[in-house]
Structure 1
């Protein structure tokens, strides 16, 4: 089982270790995020053309950003340019980005509780797509599998990450330069811990007997 405290500590240490890369990639993410949020105002043509291009570009670098943190966890030494190299995963990532909120919305419409449960159980779908290049449905199935028995821990983790980023916003948004990479690195840490735990259970079937 993972520790939220350890995930944050690990994220902080790794962010410091790769400070320059983390800083510049995070600034790019924030800059593009601000750019995409600036469209949709006066000129409809600007929104439909430039805005759409900016949104697509934003998704591609978001994929690359997450991939960089996966590689850091795996002991590799990624470079800034790597944030642009994951464009081939775009369509699968787009698919899971559409399906995931629709599933959550469906659960919330039903009785609210299923929506919260599904939000937690499927919350690693996007990182699985980025990591394994799985399709959206396969990634969601895998996310559901690795989160089995860890609902409350993962829910508390996401609440902690949300509070961390709110804290980052309070400091005039500057704190996001710190809180965003820590959140993503902690997310990767928890994801890897869950996948390793699942692999351990498969290797030792007797541990499933309780």
Structure 2
């Protein structure tokens, strides 16, 4: 199987259709989690002398810690959903390991891409294409941050132009979902994220990836 933008989006859509209300429900849970996180950190900042514009150290630490846990759960959920959409449950959204590896990878990738965008944008785009699957790899194979970044570079080699096209299409779909009174995001988010996981799986297989370690065995029928 080769990677094309159309095949990836089609996979996301067909998988979404197997359990549409389940995936919509999961997306709602994710949205509520992020909303609660924002409300909580704003409350912490306000009560400790800061504000949303000037967050406090405590609020920042809480935000980083909880957002990392949420992002880990979202990543693990969609990895599991790709493997077994009929068997995955909402409980897959709780996946707190490996916390420090995921946090370290998120920080390193964010800094690398951010610095790249400061250097006239193009280096940032290149860094994004290099490290796009880093956090997937951390959850999927529990590699450390540097190892996961190297692995992301390895599996995306030779496919960076198609990946750029894929990212642009995903951005357009998300924009369309947002314009549809935000309700469209309940479909756009799971479809595009499932498509992302599909691309990761296809490119990993073509690069000769070791079989995934997380949850696939327990979710198999």
TM-score, with length taken from structure 2:
0.80
Taking the TM superposition and a 5 Å limit, the aligned residue runs for 1:1-210 are: 1-38=2-39, 39-40=41-42, 43-45=46-48, 53=62, 56-75=65-84, 77-84=87-94, 86-199=95-208
Q: Which runs of 5+ in 1 are unaligned?
A: 201-210
What's the CA shift string for 1:140-179, capped at 9, x where partnerless? Answer: 0000011111111001111111111111111121111111
How far the C-alpha of 1:13 sits from its partner, in A, is 1.3
How far the C-alpha of 1:34 sits from its partner, in A, is 2.1
Q: Which runs of 5+ in 2 are unaligned?
A: 210-221
Matched residue of 2:98: which SS? Answer: helix
Runs of at least 4 residues off by over 4 Å: 46-55
Cα distance between partner residues in 1 of 2:111 and 2:63: 23
Name 2:219's counterpart in structure 1. none
How far the C-alpha of 1:55 sits from its partner, in A, is 5.2
TM-score, with length taken from structure 1:
0.84
CA RMSD, 1 decimal:
2.3
Which structure exhibits the higher relative contact order, with contacts defined as CA atoms closer than 8 Å and separated by 6 or more residues? 2
How far the C-alpha of 1:99 sits from its partner, in A, is 0.5
What is the aligned length?
199
